[in-house]
Structure 1
């Protein structure tokens, strides 16, 4: 909600652990009890998730510091 008062432009609202989908998506699929999606072609191995530095610089903090902590808290996984 705080982002609604910020000046225009894109701001990433993400946790502190940038990760490519091939890391977090299998954990989410397992937590939800669904099959893990297959790999997507055309991605570079070095690609990673978004950074939240701009949002943090404006005073925002994630509820969960990492996707692992959030998944564990919300989906009862270790």
Structure 2
């Protein structure tokens, strides 16, 4: 455990950021999986789930959780499933 006050604060801040990042990344993965399942089963709400998944990927990329190229590849893969 750190002894210096600023180091203690950094540990707390890093922990909060880690929780926030993990939650957002998990939400992104869940949105992608829901869309993939709907696309495989020709679900009625495919368009809404596609929009939600792409939005989640864009948010993750804008916040630096995933690389911009990974976001582009993921969106391309999802769009290919939409056809």
- Bigger fraction of residues in helix: 2
TM-score, length of structure 1 as denominator length: 0.30
Bigger Rg, which one = 2
TM-score, length of structure 2 as denominator length: 0.29
